[in-house]
Structure 1
Amino acid sequence: MALGLLWLGLVLLGTLQTQAQDSTPNLIPTPPLHRVPLQPDFQNELFQGKWYVLGLAGKEIHKEKHSQLKMYTITYELNEDNSYNVTFVLPWIQRCDHWITTFLPSFQPGQFNLGNIERYPGIQSYTAQVVATDYNQVALIFFKKAYKNQELFMVTLYGRTKELTHELKENFISFAKALGLTDDHIIFPIPNDECIYK
């Protein structure tokens, strides 16, 4: 089912790939949110919990620079107002780096805005949108931010386990490329046990 959801997103993004191919390779356009699929009937309670980051793709991701990135976790804790406390735990230079932020619900279920945005200098807006999820195995999240008058985006592949199947990897690559990204903008963090269970 999870793979079917990802493929649905690919079909809906087919026109974006055509647009990206017509543009200059160095200027990857950021798709508008209304053109990116949104998980239908999003269920807040089912989405919460720990996710492993299995794949990353985006305008600021560069395979050469980020190829040694280790796998990390993101935990979503649902609040009464349907916002999430989001905890990131990353292995970073001989230590585990923890940071927490808040995602506030937007006008559409499955879409969230960064809370306390004034704490992040230069960021004018930051939106997270759940493209597809089966809640039990995988999720595909689209992030869009306006930073110092530039629009940037990233797509993240989450898994409930550290396992990344070949089929899921290929589907993620296809999805990223449908957004106009190239192989140089797609990475798969290295599985590890550092900071994962802390």
Structure 2
Amino acid sequence: MRIAVDTVVIVMCVMLVHSDIQPQRDFNLQRFAGKWYRVGLAYDSPGFVPYRDKLRISMGMITPLPNGNVNLTMWAIGPTGCHSKLYQYERTNIPGQFTYFSARHNKVKDITVVETNYTEYALVLKHKRFDREYTQVALYGRSQKVKPEIIQKFKSFAALRGFPKESVLMPPPAENCPPSGSGR
């Protein structure tokens, strides 16, 4: 009985933590479009631990579609070199919130642009539910370097979401990814 009560309390706490997340007020997708670099990441999946030291800054291109959906092309370094992947985000009724279907996990994931000034940085929260709740907070910058106060804002936000310090990463840059001359 005690285990069941503990489980209910944990689930309720997780639901409360995520219910207070609101997207950027007056989110403007056209201003958000363009090139972004993922310069920071906080992730609470135990399966991620072996990859922490291999992570590098990745680059993404946000392309709004006429129907309000978004294509996100991400370039990242992997074991076989630089590769790109296309994500198709579907808009929701709330500007700044999207969903997408992860073929890798066979699950729908929620994406919320929590805060952005459009010209320097964006805090983005990704949430998914498997056998438990998993969350990822990412710091995106319009360049590979962001101001120290923005990094601190990201770290504080991750801490408020319950991420321990060791799960918050500021990866080094990737070299030649996307490859020079790729038109990006």
Q: State TM-score, norm by structure 1.
A: 0.77
Considering only CA atoms, is the larger Rg found in Structure 1 or Structure 2? 2
**Other-structure match for 2:41:** 56
Q: Which residue of 2 aligns with 1:45?
A: 30
Task: Name the counterpart of 2:125.
Answer: 142
Instruction: From 162, 168, 172, give the equivalent of 1:186.
Output: 168
1:129 correspondence with 2:112? yes
**Greater CA deviation, 138-147 or 87-96?**
87-96
4+ aligned runs moved over 2 Å, structure 1: 28-34, 61-65, 117-122
Report the AA paired with residue 53 of structure 1. Answer: R
Shift of 1:63: 6.4
Out of 20, 26, 42, the position equivalent to 1:35 is 20
| 1:137/1:161 contact within 8 Å kept | yes
Determine if contact 1:60/1:185 at 8 Å carries over to the other structure: no
Identity %: 24
Match of 1:93 in 2: 79
* Structure 1: runs of 5+ lacking an equivalent: 1-21
After the TM superposition, which residues 148-187 of structure 1 pair with which residues of structure 2 at under 5 Å, given as runs?
A: 149-187=131-169
TM-superposed deviation, 1:172: 1.2
Matching residue within 103, 109, 120 for 1:119: 103
Of residues 48, 60, 64 in structure 2, which corresponds to 1:74?
60
**Following TM superposition, by how much is the alpha carbon of 1:120 offset from its aligned partner in structure 2, in angstroms?**
3.9
Unaligned runs of 5+ in 2: 1-8
> Distance in 2 between the 1:38 and 1:195 partners?
30
